Amino acid sequence: MKSIFKSNTKNEKNLGFGKFASEGNRMRLINRDGSFNVERKGLNFLSSLSIYHFLLDMSWTKFFSFAALGYIFMNIFFASIYVLLGNNAILGHGSLNFWEQFSDAFFFSVQTSSTIGFGHLTPGNFLSDLVVSVESFVGILGVAIITGLLFARFSKPNAKIIFSENAIIAPYKEGKAFMFRIVNARKNQLFELDGEVNLILQKTINGKTERTFHKLDLEISHLTFFPLSWTIVHPIDSNSPLDDFSETDFINSDPEFYIFLKGVDDTFNQYVYTRSSYKMSEIVYGAKFESIIDMHKTGEKMSVDISKINSFEKITFP
Amino acid sequence: MKSIFKSNTKNEKNLGFGKFASEGNRMRLINRDGSFNVERKGLNFLSSLSIYHFLLDMSWTKFFSFAALGYIFMNIFFASIYVLLGNNAILGHGSLNFWEQFSDAFFFSVQTSSTIGFGHLTPGNFLSDLVVSVESFVGILGVAIITGLLFARFSKPNAKIIFSENAIIAPYKEGKAFMFRIVNARKNQLFELDGEVNLILQKTINGKTERTFHKLDLEISHLTFFPLSWTIVHPIDSNSPLDDFSETDFINSDPEFYIFLKGVDDTFNQYVYTRSSYKMSEIVYGAKFESIIDMHKTGEKMSVDISKINSFEKITFP
Amino acid sequence: MKSIFKSNTKNEKNLGFGKFASEGNRMRLINRDGSFNVERKGLNFLSSLSIYHFLLDMSWTKFFSFAALGYIFMNIFFASIYVLLGNNAILGHGSLNFWEQFSDAFFFSVQTSSTIGFGHLTPGNFLSDLVVSVESFVGILGVAIITGLLFARFSKPNAKIIFSENAIIAPYKEGKAFMFRIVNARKNQLFELDGEVNLILQKTINGKTERTFHKLDLEISHLTFFPLSWTIVHPIDSNSPLDDFSETDFINSDPEFYIFLKGVDDTFNQYVYTRSSYKMSEIVYGAKFESIIDMHKTGEKMSVDISKINSFEKITFP
Amino acid sequence: MKSIFKSNTKNEKNLGFGKFASEGNRMRLINRDGSFNVERKGLNFLSSLSIYHFLLDMSWTKFFSFAALGYIFMNIFFASIYVLLGNNAILGHGSLNFWEQFSDAFFFSVQTSSTIGFGHLTPGNFLSDLVVSVESFVGILGVAIITGLLFARFSKPNAKIIFSENAIIAPYKEGKAFMFRIVNARKNQLFELDGEVNLILQKTINGKTERTFHKLDLEISHLTFFPLSWTIVHPIDSNSPLDDFSETDFINSDPEFYIFLKGVDDTFNQYVYTRSSYKMSEIVYGAKFESIIDMHKTGEKMSVDISKINSFEKITFP
């Protein structure tokens, strides 16, 4: 058997993890969802706080809750000012106790910031007129900000590629191959897909553990269209750093596969990028994917059953 | 005659239709409008439901109808709440019967959600004031969403390339060529156009039908400018998988041509993509396109008559 | 002297003007502002009417006039309906004659569509309440459309490259060169500029005029930065189709130079494209550009005087 | 020692500084923040005034101040008109003196332009009704413009790469290398980073100073991911224009390094560009960067301490 580990210094450094990753530790570098497993500290809070990215990346539920909370607090803030300006600040209902006064001020503020202005409550003196002027401006800016954010969230191009839960080591031609499967979870169509798979292996020599990086050859690395599913295949042949690996070799070398996909989104005509990773615990040694395409359908359309994306049958290598 | 079918395994797989398409069936893979002829099932309803893509891709008529329906239902919803809050919830008209009460509540809701707030109808108690606060927020969000969607629909770059109804097999130099013609239906200008034509052929050997995929050589595959029309030409020479095909060969092999175009849109300075396809029923064997450019015009401008995009005269090959 | 005309069939066709342009006529193909000198007819009016491109490409003055006209007509339309609904449709001022009634209806419509809703004019019956509901929806959509269009106009990336009024034939090394000069008229910075110059020549043989197309070699065709000006130079050497041209040869061959520039805009990080052209009447045979860069400035900044973009001195070739 | 200066005419011109920069002066060409050190004059004020770029590139504080000032001035403008239209133009409060009249007019204008329209102040005659119609239109346009600008500012993709304060000349393999370090200051992830470093050297021969331009070879010029920091290294070997430079050679040649980075932003899936520069005063001859990655962390995440981006220890070359 030839040397199991073929270090490729160039690829390793180009991946961007540098010396850290090549040190002997078994930390995951890229999470399943494609984010980096990195903690960043020492950055001034304000300069790292990219509110915009924060508001763009949160879930829709959180986003609307944030917006609602902001609306409530803004109205409480202005209501407090109207209350502080005294009983004559708002003309309309004869307010009796503090809570009635405050709730009137709050509803007056709502009618002002949202620009409804029914007019049964009106500003009563110069100062409250002034506050109304400020609040109307804040209201306009607020609507502008919400609108801008909503659209930015809408127009953020994002692919939703579903990866098979497991990658498998499957029979392939006369040998074996590393395979996983992806499918497009969105109605929009993707094309000009490019895939790249990188591998990190652990290697222990004289008690010292090192990591080696490898860019893997793929059977196919580019698709013009992506209408169905794509089984991405790295043939384990003599050019592969995994050549002649037994199941034990796999487990000992703790392989991590990093996947990097890009393609053009039909709706926005823009490139979208997706990353993911497989660690050994997510890889099945000895398996075959079951087809997710209905071959015997007699209808007019090709048919793909996305729920079967992870269906495989276990097999034993001879 | 040399072998009609030249399989090109590499291209075939790279097209993205995989094993399915190479099986023996005569299903269309890409529709005339460029969408894939694929049915997708097994995907959780919610996760496949990309409301945004849905709202972006529907027609303008549908979009405005959706918006109007949403506006009506929102106001019916809030009107119902005001009615439930009793007769004092809204001050103003003395409402007599249920329908008068409901229509008053509906119009009050309209005046609130649209932030008009005439003030002849006003919230009458704490609870209706509260509902008004909620409705004002919903109204603001609604306007923000409509605005965001409208802009997203506006800014979606889309080319509108008109393809000739028919592709033709025409005389070309000493032989024949597969040709079709495109023209830009929009006022915006396209440039840096790239065209790609792929071909799928059926082949029956010993009663088993197989498909073969081929990327076709084009006489010209790139245009710097696209001011007029473009006749895309695949010369049927010795490098072509269609070399020496008779009309019967064409019909038997049930060819499908997949066209993939990209170019830069003048208005948004962005790449736009268009796809289409021709099946045998849309191909005329033996024809010549008539010029759509007015050659004898003496004016100051070149002139192209787009209505003649599909004009051809039938001819017979010797 | 070797043959003046070197036809380059490949480039010619790739330019996109096809057979038309190669016919013998002296029509300009690309206007100075980069638009194509093409008339398009035969297209169904509605399908060619790309309102959006129309609204995006018009001047700001026109755009705001269109918006104002739209606003006025919408309010006249709804005012007419209120008038038709009779005197009770709007409560408030006691309207006496028709014009007073109409102007009240108009101002009521303004207060409704803009969602001001002062409340001194209010809808007076069920039908006018209904019309108010429709108008509030139309008003919201209108604001959304105006906002969307404004932003689309804002975000349309556009370079404003100033071309020198004249191109010149200037001395260059031991021979001559075709030169023109460009400068960035915007404060935003451009980088990664690529330039391409194409040439069309007329050639008369046996009384038949033909056009030949040529892609010209440039001394420099790519700039990393574009802080100052760029003199784009095509050396007229033995590789040039203009080799050994006398001034008379230039005039007889009626050359047209088509310029195509692209670069990355600093503000939007997006590619922007610019085109222009020079006909013989805009080319000065025998001239040298004067420097627009202040070489003897002693300050801390480089200095470029954009008003001198077209400054040249006439010279005579030996 | 071989010749210190290796002029590379091609790169020099392609950088875009042309003859100016190659003249003997020691002006900085690119500022630390990546902007060009260029003054542009002779451009018609209006045509250079790209209000949009101006409003996009200013700080948020300035932007909101501008918006607030615009809001105030617009309302003062319309208030003045209402005052000019006389005491009956606005019905509501009995206004006594001029300032009361003006402040009423101002607040009425606010309630109109913001579309609040409480209704305790209402237009009193035909002319003020007309002005209200105009102001409502201006108000709508104003909101649309603010919304459009806010979103454009939001969606402007911008990387915030922190460069180490100093570049260093550090030991590297058997020789030396020019190094600097960058880190991503934003939460968004960057990938597919490309780096380019250009160098300008001063050279004095016979009392005449010239500049030479050089594109430097980098140890690594492309990173797939950018999770941590990146130390960009130009090895000073026999291919480097800095080969065999002593500290004195460095000082005498007054080197300027221009850095050009591009990468794909995770949030917008768009290319972002960053530039910077190092002059000799910012370069430390003889130093080693200290690691900013916590190697001995035992947790589950890699850890990078961004505050140490400029940490280095001085060393002496043998």
Give 10-residue mean pLDDT values along chain B (318 residues): 34 56 59 72 58 79 93 96 90 79 93 92 91 94 88 72 92 92 81 87 76 86 83 93 91 89 77 86 93 65 81 89
**Ordered structural domains, chain D, with CATH:** 9-39+159-314 (2.60.40.1400), 47-155 (1.10.287.70)
Asked whether B265 and B160 are in contact (CB, 8 A), the reply is no
Cα torsion D116, D119, D124, D129: sign: positive
Contacts of A270 in chain C (CB under 8 A): none
pLDDT(D6) > 60: no
3-class secondary-structure state, position D204: strand
pLDDT of A42 reads 66
pLDDT of D45 reads 54
DSSP string, A214-240: EEPP-S--EEEE-SSEEEEEEEESTTS
- Which of C184, C212, C164 has the alpha carbon at shortest distance from C272? C184
- Reported as half-sphere exposure (CB side, CA atoms, 13 A), residue B236 has a value of 20
**By the CB < 8 Å criterion, does D105 face chain C?**
no
Pairing outcome for strands D287-289 and D312-314: antiparallel
Which of D114, D140, D147, D270 is the best residue to mutate to test the B interface, defined by the most B CB atoms within 10 Å of its own CB?
D147
Residue type, D123: P
Banded pLDDT at A1 (limits 50, 70, 90): very low
C304 and D39 within 8 Å at the Cβ level: the answer is yes
Q: Which residues on adjacent β-strands are paired with residue C229?
A: C183
- Which of D142, A28, A107, C111 has the alpha carbon at shortest distance from B122? A107
Distances (CA, A) of C271 to B84, B268, C223, D156: 57, 10, 14, 14
Q: What angle (nearest 5°) sits at the alpha carbon of residue A155, between those of residues C146 and B269?
A: 75
Distances (CA, A) of D128 to C107, D78, D96: 10, 10, 19
pLDDT(D317) > 70: yes
D123 and C107 within 8 Å at the Cβ level: the answer is yes
pLDDT of A11 reads 47
pLDDT(A15) > 80: no
**By the CB < 8 Å criterion, does B122 face chain C?**
no
CA-based nearest distance A26→chain D, Å: 9
Q: Which residues on adjacent β-strands are paired with residue B162?
A: B183
D151 and A156 within 8 Å at the Cβ level: the answer is no
Mean pLDDT score of chain D, rounded to an integer? Answer: 81
What's the rounded Cα separation, in Å, for the pair B67 and B73? 10
Give the predicted TM-score (pTM) of the model. Answer: 0.79
Contacts of D145 in chain C (CB under 8 A): 150
| pLDDT tens sequence across C144-176 | 988 888 887 877 666 678 899 999 999 998 899
What's the rounded Cα separation, in Å, for the pair A300 and B37? 8
3-class secondary-structure state, position D63: helix
User: In chain D, what is the straight-line distance between the N-terminal and C-terminal CA atoms, in Å?
Assistant: 18
Instruction: Provide the token pair at A177.
Output: 């191959």
What's the rounded Cα separation, in Å, for the pair D63 and D75? 19
What's the rounded Cα separation, in Å, for the pair D69 and D78? 14
Q: What is the mean pLDDT of residues D300-315?
A: 84
Q: Which segment of A229-233, A234-238, A303-307, D146-150 scores lowest on mean pLDDT?
A: A303-307
pLDDT of B214 reads 86
pLDDT of A6 reads 32
What's the rounded Cα separation, in Å, for the pair D273 and C266? 8
Banded pLDDT at A169 (limits 50, 70, 90): very high
A147 and B147 within 8 Å at the Cβ level: the answer is yes
Q: What is the mean pLDDT of residues D85-99?
A: 82
Q: What is the mean pLDDT of residues C217-239?
A: 88
| Long-range CB contacts (within 8 A, 24+) of B56-60 | B56/A267, B56/B149, B56/B152, B56/B153, B56/B156, B57/A267, B60/B153
Higher confidence at residue D196 or residue D264? Answer: D196
Taking 3-state DSSP, the helix, strand and coil percentages for chain D, each rounded to the nearest 5, stand at 35, 30, 35
Asked whether D226 and D189 are in contact (CB, 8 A), the reply is yes
pLDDT(C290) > 80: yes
What's the rounded Cα separation, in Å, for the pair A160 and B7? 33
* ipTM of the complex in this document: 0.73
pLDDT of C95 reads 60
Most confident region among A33-42, A271-280, B254-263, D127-136 by mean pLDDT: D127-136
Banded pLDDT at D44 (limits 50, 70, 90): low
What's the rounded Cα separation, in Å, for the pair D273 and D290? 27
**Angle, helices C126-155/C60-84, rounded to nearest 10 degrees:** 170
Q: What is the mean pLDDT of residues D6-13?
A: 42
**By the CB < 8 Å criterion, does A265 face chain B?**
no
Q: What angle (nearest 5°) sits at the alpha carbon of residue C98, between those of residues C93 and C103?
A: 55
D187 and A149 within 8 Å at the Cβ level: the answer is no
Asked whether B187 and C52 are in contact (CB, 8 A), the reply is no
Higher confidence at residue A293 or residue B44? Answer: A293
* Cβ contacts of C244 within 8 Å, gap of 6 or more: C1, C2, C4
pLDDT of A189 reads 77
| pLDDT tens sequence across C85-107 | 988 889 887 667 888 889 999 99
Banded pLDDT at A137 (limits 50, 70, 90): very high
Instruction: Provide the token pair at D197.
Output: 């470093």
Banded pLDDT at C9 (limits 50, 70, 90): very low
- Reported as half-sphere exposure (CB side, CA atoms, 13 A), residue D281 has a value of 3
Higher confidence at residue C252 or residue D12? Answer: C252
Contacts of A115 in chain C (CB under 8 A): 115
Asked whether D287 and D170 are in contact (CB, 8 A), the reply is yes
| pLDDT tens sequence across C111-130 | 999 999 999 999 988 999 99
Instruction: Out of D115, D119, D147, name the one closest to residue B119 (CB).
Output: D119
Instruction: Provide the token pair at A143.
Output: 């609507």
Asked whether B41 and B48 are in contact (CB, 8 A), the reply is no
Name the residue with tokens 């473009």: B230
Banded pLDDT at C260 (limits 50, 70, 90): confident
| pLDDT tens sequence across D157-169 | 666 788 999 999 9
Residue type, A249: D
Asked whether B153 and B56 are in contact (CB, 8 A), the reply is yes
